[in-house]
Amino acid sequence: MNYQASPWAITIFLFFVASVLAISYYFARRTKSAEGYFAAGGSIHWSVNGVAFAGDYLSAASFLGICGMIATAGYDGFLYSIGYLAGWVVALFVVAEPMKRMGKYTFTDALDSKFNSKGIQLIAAISTLLVSMFYLIPQMVGAGTLVRPLFGLPHWAGVLMVGAIVIIIVATAGMASTTYVQFLKGALLIIFSLVIVFLVLFNGLSTKPDQGGDVPYHEFIRLEIASFEGENLSLEDTSYSVKNVWNTKKIGIAKLEREGEELFFSIDKKNNALQECLFVTHLQDGQILYNGAPKADERFFQVGSLSDINGDKNGETGTLNLFDFTGTIKNSNVTLWGKEKVMDGENTVEVYFPKQVSGKDVLRPGLKFKVEGTTKDKLDFASLMLALFCGTAALPHILIRYYTVPTPADARKSTIVAIASIGLFYVLTLYMGLGAMTNGVIDLTNDNMSAPLLAKSFGITIFAIISAIAFATVLGTVSGLIVASSGAVAHDLMDRFFNMKLSDKAKVRAGKISAVVVGCIAMVLGILFKDMNVSFLVGWAFAVAASANLPAILMILFWKKTTAKGVMASVAVGLVSSLTIILLSQNTFNDVYHLVNVKSPMPISNPAIISIPLSFITLVVVSLLTKKEQVVENG
């Protein structure tokens, strides 16, 4: 799949950026005080704040990552949608109002409101900064990934562009401009997701999707096997000659040649046939070929289709409603794609082979997360679902949004608007993901682009709009994170921990300088971590936030014996234990350190199921041990 810069996309994007900057300058004149800068003067209407929550929360990981994962792994991607939304229940029922009541600008304020403890101020600020950084890196990397296909610019240009725009948004008017940028982005994202889903349903399903006639459906070659034993393969069709055969753990792969052209096939022993594959060849000199040709030749076609509809191999449904759409997929079979690496002489070849999967299995968990696997697999699954559930109400950039509304009742109401809009969006992710899965739009080398490419199959205008929104998605989330970090530095650390007694004006200046510094650090990290898997890091941020922050928040609210030392110990233990598990896990060994055949010391990859209870226990034990001390300190 080759991407060309679309002038439409650039125009719409520039228009969006211009309006965002206009908003920032408009609010800059009105935000002179610290309260104006860090909390938008506490004067945002709850309905605006609710949609801004959605803009804040629905990051690139939600829009690109979840849709891409559903497109390639079915229901398992939707598990993220379910978990991310469930987290808001914790935020609404337990955290929203007390958070607003106890705090002023930052989450640290709320933790510290009963204690006035230096230790809490320091550790909570560190926690805020760490979680924000983990969350910032994937957003910046995502920005870089997006500009390549959309504007034809290199990775670093995307990172610098986002960094610069966000620094302007935050440094001019802080939370006020950030809020309206997020409001705009959240509303646009939901409206245009609705449009895409409407178009998906309107077009219905077909076994030969041709993107509305724009891209002809690729008929896959199927060859009959004459005989196959060990590595000796011969075919009925003698115009193909067999060049090589691999029997890997997953599947048999054959390299064939016909009229000087090399092709890869997977060996389907059951049906005694070969199936055409897609392949990416990494030549020794660093050159990469897609289906045997450079990317610009566009030989690497998009995939994704139903192999039959209700048993009919040439089926077409016409317009469907929401229920018939999933119902039809359930009763059909889907062609999904597996990936296997083989060595062809000196070249490494990634072969993408077709798999027939029943619609029944696509629409239930299990393709990616092995819920039917070993205890360890099950534990990983449970741990992920726990982290998603507990993470939301502990994310600093979400928590600071409670300080932008006038009253605790408004905090509650805005959370409900957030649940409604975010819930609606997550329902739509399932249809967008399944739409991409069945409409022949998936680029196997980059499943994150599934949603934008689905939009592209409906026309270049909607593609341009969706691309601009995807980019804006990064702007909204990044600006929220930078406000949170700048609050942690200027308010929690400088003003309170170091007791610098900043005047209101000086505090705003300190906040703005911190925003610029944090923004620059984020840009550098975004460029350094270029090849890092995006959804991976968001998972880290959730797990770390849930382990470090949530136990402290909950216990302060509901357990009177909680002491300052208990809170400190709990946050510290949560941070350290979750990070240790992540850094020593098998996923990190493989994907981050690239130690492919090394067994990691940690049995599970998602820390939440260990680190959250550990953090709770620490809080209780330390609080009980330091009970008397606390009385003296306070007295």
Q: Which is nearer to other proteins, 295 or 330 (CB)?
A: 330
Applying CB under 8 A, which of residues 98, 138, 396, 440 lies at the interface with other proteins? Answer: 98
Q: Alpha-carbon distance 210 to 304, whole Å?
A: 11
- Beta carbon of residue 41, minimum distance to other proteins (angstroms, whole number): 4
Number of C-beta neighbours around residue 22 at 10 A: 11
Q: Which is nearer to other proteins, 266 or 514 (CB)?
A: 514
What residue has token string 């409409």?
A: 439
Applying CB under 8 A, which of residues 413, 456, 512, 565 lies at the interface with other proteins? Answer: 413
Residue 312, C-beta contacts closer than 8 angstroms, at least 6 positions apart: 207
- How far CA 448 is from CA of 468, 537, 570, in Å, comes to 15, 15, 36
Q: And the tokens for 513?
A: 């300088």
- Beta carbon of residue 316, minimum distance to other proteins (angstroms, whole number): 19
- For position 380 contacting other proteins by CB under 8 A, the verdict is no
Applying CB under 8 A, which of residues 119, 204, 292, 423 lies at the interface with other proteins? Answer: 423
The DSSP bridge partners found for residue 353 are 338
The DSSP bridge partners found for residue 348 are 282, 343
Torsion of CA 424, 428, 429, 433, to 10 degrees: 170
Helix (H) / strand (E) element for 245: namely strand 241-247
Applying CB under 8 A, which of residues 155, 185, 496, 565 lies at the interface with other proteins? Answer: 496
Q: Which is nearer to other proteins, 381 or 458 (CB)?
A: 381
**Full DSSP string of 385-445:** HHHHHHHGGG-HHHHGGGGSSSSHHHHHHHHHHHHHHHHHHHHHHHHHHHHHHHTT-B-TT
- For position 408 contacting other proteins by CB under 8 A, the verdict is yes
- For position 406 contacting other proteins by CB under 8 A, the verdict is yes
- For position 409 contacting other proteins by CB under 8 A, the verdict is yes
- Beta carbon of residue 582, minimum distance to other proteins (angstroms, whole number): 21
- For position 365 contacting other proteins by CB under 8 A, the verdict is yes
Beta carbons of 273 and 223 less than 8 angstroms apart: yes
Q: Which is nearer to other proteins, 424 or 532 (CB)?
A: 424
- Beta carbon of residue 512, minimum distance to other proteins (angstroms, whole number): 17
* Amino acid (1-letter code) at residue 330: K
- Which of 138, 89, 144 lies closest to 422, judged by CA? 89
Applying CB under 8 A, which of residues 230, 372, 560, 599 lies at the interface with other proteins? Answer: 372
Q: Strands across the sheet with 222-229, in order? A: 232-235, 222-229, 273-276, 261-268, 252-258, 241-247
- Beta carbon of residue 605, minimum distance to other proteins (angstroms, whole number): 17
Applying CB under 8 A, which of residues 37, 57, 75, 471 lies at the interface with other proteins? Answer: 75
Beta carbons of 174 and 24 less than 8 angstroms apart: no
Beta carbons of 36 and 424 less than 8 angstroms apart: no
Q: Residue 153 phi/psi, 5° resolution? A: -105, 155
Binding residues for other proteins restricted to 5-34, rule: CB under 8 A: 33-34
* Binding string, residues 30-49; x marks residues near other proteins by CB under 8 A: ---xxxx----xxx------
Residue range at the interface with other proteins (CB under 8 A); choices 325-333, 510-518, 578-586, 625-633: 325-333
Beta carbons of 34 and 483 less than 8 angstroms apart: no
Binding residues for other proteins restricted to 103-122, rule: CB under 8 A: 103-105, 109, 112-113, 116
Beta carbons of 580 and 515 less than 8 angstroms apart: no
Applying CB under 8 A, which of residues 37, 381, 431, 540 lies at the interface with other proteins? Answer: 381
Q: Which is nearer to other proteins, 2 or 356 (CB)?
A: 356
Tell me the H-state helices in 439-503: 450-456, 460-487
Q: And the tokens for 27?
A: 């609010």
Beta carbons of 175 and 40 less than 8 angstroms apart: yes
- For position 545 contacting other proteins by CB under 8 A, the verdict is no
- For position 412 contacting other proteins by CB under 8 A, the verdict is yes
Q: What angle do CA 394, 396, 402 make, to 5 degrees?
A: 90
Residue range at the interface with other proteins (CB under 8 A); choices 284-292, 324-332, 345-353, 534-542: 324-332
- Beta carbon of residue 333, minimum distance to other proteins (angstroms, whole number): 14
Q: Which is nearer to other proteins, 168 or 386 (CB)?
A: 386
Number of C-beta neighbours around residue 510 at 10 A: 21
Applying CB under 8 A, which of residues 419, 475, 538, 612 lies at the interface with other proteins? Answer: 419
Applying CB under 8 A, which of residues 82, 201, 215, 527 lies at the interface with other proteins? Answer: 82
Q: Which is nearer to other proteins, 239 or 407 (CB)?
A: 407
- Beta carbon of residue 422, minimum distance to other proteins (angstroms, whole number): 9
- For position 512 contacting other proteins by CB under 8 A, the verdict is no
Beta carbons of 53 and 190 less than 8 angstroms apart: no
Residue range at the interface with other proteins (CB under 8 A); choices 101-109, 213-221, 520-528, 585-593: 101-109
* Binding string, residues 255-294; x marks residues near other proteins by CB under 8 A: ----------------------------------------
Torsion of CA 271, 273, 277, 279, to 10 degrees: 120
- How far CA 260 is from CA of 243, 292, 588, in Å, comes to 12, 11, 42
Q: What angle do CA 284, 287, 290 make, to 5 degrees?
A: 115
* Amino acid (1-letter code) at residue 209: P
Binding-site size, other proteins (CB under 8 A): 70
Applying CB under 8 A, which of residues 102, 165, 205, 508 lies at the interface with other proteins? Answer: 102
Q: List interacting residues with other proteins (CB under 8 A).
A: 33-36, 41-43, 75, 78, 81-82, 85-86, 88-90, 92-94, 97-98, 101-105, 109, 112-113, 116, 323-324, 326-327, 330, 360-361, 363-366, 371-372, 378, 381-382, 385, 389, 406-409, 412-413, 415-416, 419-420, 423, 426-427, 430, 495-496, 501-502, 504, 507, 557-558
